[in-house]
Amino acid sequence: MNAPLSENMSESKLKTGSKSLRTPDVVIIGAGMSGILSAVRLHEAGIDSYTVYEKAASVGGTWRDNTYPGLSCDVPAHMYTYSFESNPDFSHRFAMGPEIRQYFERVAKEYDVLPKVKFNKELVSAKYVDNKWHMKTQDGDEVIADIVISACGVLHHPYTPGIEGLDTFAGTKFHTGRWDHGVDLAGKKVGIIGTGSTSVQVIPAIIDKVGHLSVFQRTPQWILPLAQKTYSDKSKERLRRNPKLAARIRNIYSWLFEKTFARAVVGAKLPQMLVGLASRHHLKSKVKDPALRAKLTPDYQPMCKRIIIGNGFYEAIQRPKANLITGDIERIEPTGVRTKDGVLHPLDVLILATGFKAHNFMRPMEMIGESGLTIDQAWEKGTQAHRSISLPGFPNFFMMIGPNSPIGNYSLISIAELQVNYILQLIDLWRDQTCDAIEPKPQATERFNEAIKGAMGGTVWVTGCQSWYLDKNGNPAMWPWTYERFTEDMSHPRLDEFNLRRNGCNSAEAEAASV
Ligand code: NAP
């Protein structure tokens, strides 16, 4: 532990006057980055009556589930940490996956979160009855809580494409999100479907080993080079001695990413142009063969799909043992992948780098809010939330990294920290007895989501590409404004946007707090 607890603490507390504070039973769903953070912040706010339910056997979320070769983070390591806990031990500017997992394990241990986690306990249902959430785990435990914080992450359910014949493949197949380390790729004919961020990390890491690599690309992607560097023992020691230096580095990177990527995606022309130039130059400088380069050149604007940042993909794909296949896949057969031109690409191993179901959030958990409203009904027309945090009809339920959070080429940790600060302020209203139930007003939620939709026109996500950013209606489930605006929005809840109820009615105090 290297820092005093939150500087946001005073911000997260609303004035409680002379009222006595009560302590809510809180359930946190998930022990990944945002679940650990929620636990640390609750403790810091004086709430230790929380339990974390984790479906797996250890903490770490996406950094536990993803173990594929080449796994790393394309956000600088010293920016990808909690503000209250730096990590002088990172070996590279862009950290490797196992180091990030270890970092979360260490924070969970040092901040005493681990004893509060119930492992191998997946919450499968939650129902709101009489101001309480009644939940069940997959093995039949019943859990009751005043407040639920969903910290399930975004990209955790691997997406398996419905390609004909996938189940008939006679070799070994697995998804990158569930890498099968029992399979030795040495000398094998390996196929990989997909050319997103994951594939671009996997391919350079396995190319030396495989006998032959067939890369099935449906859509080319823009790739920026990664300015990787190794940290020397001396520089690690410097950070160890001076945690303030780590904080400064975190701030500098955050400023840089905010001024470039975060602005480019919401319409700033100069950073868009710079990202475009750099990614085009990267492709041109690495791929000299015009025919191959044409195959690798996207026909959409850089950043429309999440821009990939990584090294080695262009080099790997030009190795004699690699083959970039751009023809559509017809079907999968026992011995390989057949493309629409009739060619069978024989394979021993098939790797699906086909991404995730990004719009599940806490589902498939069944959720029933007030008046029998189910989460599937609430999200029938697309996933949405009030300020990415809460939902009308689901009182005392809060989401970390919920719909329309500003995800993508920025540190999710910074975003989660802002969100938990906002959520704690809402929880304070329950604690100081201003209300027993708090939920956003439907009109406020609608207004917010209409504003979001209205602002999407200026973003890169609607400039003509398919991506996991888009929901089932083709609307980007993203934050269309600047990161600064998100910071501002998350600084304090606007209480006129919420219904606050006591004993089932809008109390005078609650009414007063709402105006
Ligand atoms: P992804 O970006 O969704 O890419 C999936 C790939 O699979 C795409 O190339 C897609 O083609 C292809 N695909 C899907 N269905 C297909 C089908 N039926 N036939 C052929 N191709 C198909 O998934 P990802 O690479 O796992 O990355 C997901 C996200 O994870 C990233 O955007 C990023 O946010 C995160 N991530 C981050 C890092 C990091 O360093 N921070 C690293 C890895 C991943 P189309 O493009 O044509 O749809």
Please give the Cα distance from 408 to 30 (Å, whole number). Answer: 21
Nearest CA to ligand 1 atom 26: 355
Q: Residue 101 has which token pair? A: 């997992």
176: helix, coil or strand? helix
Say yes or no: CB of residue 329 within 6 Å of ligand 1. yes
| Closest protein CA for atom 12 of ligand 1 | 194
466 lines ligand 1 (CB under 6 A): yes
pLDDT level of residue 212 (50, 70, 90 thresholds): very high
Greater confidence (372 vs 512) lies with 372
Would the CB of 204 count as within 6 Å of ligand 1? Answer: no
Considering only 182-196, 319-333, 457-471, which range has the smallest mean pLDDT? Answer: 457-471
Which pLDDT band holds residue 507 (cuts at 50, 70, 90)?
low
Q: Is the CB of 469 under 6 A from ligand 1?
A: no
Q: How far is Cα 432 from Cα 16, in angstroms, rounded to an integer? A: 6
Q: What is the mean pLDDT of residues 245-272?
A: 94
Correct CATH for 166-229+237-352 of 3.40.50.300, 3.30.70.270, 3.50.50.60, 3.90.226.10: 3.50.50.60
Whether residue 364 is preceded by a cis peptide bond, meaning omega within 30 degrees of 0, is yes
- At 406, the pLDDT band (50, 70, 90 cuts) reads confident
For residue 378, how far is the Cα from the chain centroid?
22
When pLDDT is averaged across residues 373-401 and rounded to a whole number, the result is 96
**Nearest CA residue ID for atom 46, ligand 1:** 219
User: Quick one: CATH architecture of 23-59+113-157+357-514?
Assistant: 3-Layer(bba) Sandwich (3.50)
| DSSP-derived secondary structure letter, 236 | H
What spacing in Å lies between the alpha carbon of 196 and ligand 1's midpoint?
4
Q: Whose CA is nearest to atom 8 of ligand 1?
A: 194
For residues 54 and 118, is the Cβ–Cβ distance under 8 A?
yes
Mutate which of 197, 297, 411, 465 for ligand 1 pocket (most atoms within 8 A of beta carbon): 197
What's the angle, vertex CA 174, arms to CA 172 and CA 177, rounded to 5?
Answer: 160
State mean pLDDT over 145-161: 96
Q: Give the pLDDT score at 503.
A: 75
Query: Residue 40: what residue type?
Result: V
Q: Is 330 in the pocket of ligand 1 (CB under 6 A)?
A: no
Mean pLDDT over 83-93 rounds to 96
Q: What share of the chain is helix, strand, coil (3-state, %, to 5)?
A: 35, 20, 45
Per-residue pLDDT, averaged over 235-262, amounts to 94
CA of 215 to the centre of ligand 1 (A): 13
Query: What's the gap in Å between 28 CA and the centre of ligand 1?
Result: 28
Percentage of the chain beyond pLDDT 90 is 90
Q: Is the CB of 350 under 6 A from ligand 1?
A: no
CB of 249 closer than 8 Å to CB of 263: no
What's the pLDDT score for residue 266?
Answer: 94
Q: 409 in ligand 1 pocket by Cβ < 6 Å?
A: no
Instruction: For ligand 1, say whether the CB of 172 is within 6 Å of any of its atoms.
Output: no
Beta carbon of 81 within 6 Å of any ligand 1 atom: no
The helix-helix angle for 483-491 and 412-431 (nearest 10°) equals 20
Q: How confident is the model at residue 410 (pLDDT cuts 50, 70, 90)?
A: confident
pLDDT at 157 over 70: yes
Q: How far apart are CA 284 and CA 273, in angstroms?
A: 16
pTM given for the model: 0.94
- Range 477-511 burial, b when 16+ CB lie within 10 A, else e: bbbbbbbeebeebbeebebebbbbbbeeeebebbe
CA of 270 to the centre of ligand 1 (A): 27
SS (H, E, C) 106-135: HHHHHCCCHHHEECCCCEEEEEEECCEEEE
Q: Ligand 1: distance of its center to the CA of 480 in Å? A: 21
> How far is it between the farthest Cα atoms of the chain?
77
Average pLDDT value for the chain: 93
pLDDT of residue 238: 95
Task: Identify the three-state secondary structure at position 70.
Answer: coil
Beta bridge partners of 426: none
Give the pLDDT of residue 402.
Answer: 96
The DSSP code for 340 is T
Beta bridge partners of 85: 82
Helices (H), 111-232: 197-206
Is 306 near ligand 1, meaning CB less than 6 Å away?
yes
DSSP string across 368-434: E-GGG-BHHHHTTT----BTTTB-TT-TTEEETT-TT---SSS-HHHHHHHHHHHHHHHHHHHHTTS
Q: Where in the chain is the domain with CATH 3.50.50.60?
A: 23-59+113-157+357-514, 166-229+237-352
Q: Considering only CA atoms, which of 122, 188, 185 is closest in space to residue 157? A: 122
414 CB within 6 A, ligand 1:
no
Q: Which residues contact 515 (CB under 8 A, 6 or more apart)?
A: 495, 496
> Which pLDDT score is estimated for 12?
40
The CA distance from 7 to 13, in Å, is: 12
State the average pLDDT over residues 110-124. 98
What pLDDT score does 39 carry? 98
Q: Assess whether pLDDT exceeds 90 at residue 514.
A: no
